[in-house]
Amino acid sequence: MPKIGVWLMPDNQRDGILEDLLCEAMSSTSHQYISAVVDKAKTDEFAAFRQVERSKAIVKTHIAWQDPNKKNLGEALNHFENLDAVFQNFREWLQALFG
């Protein structure tokens, strides 16, 4: 019988999405600055994202500012400073399930 596992994003403990986890992988300075800009754009009605999509807006802004030629998250992962630490629990869960 094949093994099956379910991981709930972002960290198997909280409600959220992948981008919530990626926000944690950004440097705190980058996250604070980009969050302020994204929130200001929303307040001033320059951005139309829903509040539930705020972390997506932050991550996509971060990627666009680092390398505008990157079109998706997979291509842009090297622009997140703390990626290894943030995904350690996910990596360990995968190894326990399939290792």
Q: Is residue 12 part of a domain?
A: no
Domain count, the chain: 1
What is the C-alpha separation between 63 and 82, in angstroms, rounded? 15
Instruction: Tell me the residue range of the domain where 88 lies.
Output: 18-98
25 with 59: CB under 8 angstroms? no
Closest CA to 62 of 27, 87, 21: 27
What is the C-alpha separation between 45 and 67, in angstroms, rounded? 25
- What are the pLDDT digits (tens) for 34-90? 999 999 999 999 999 999 999 999 999 999 998 878 777 778 888 888 888 888 988
pTM value? 0.83
Q: Is residue 3 part of a domain?
A: no
In the block, residue with structure tokens 């320059």 = 46
26 with 62: CB under 8 angstroms? yes
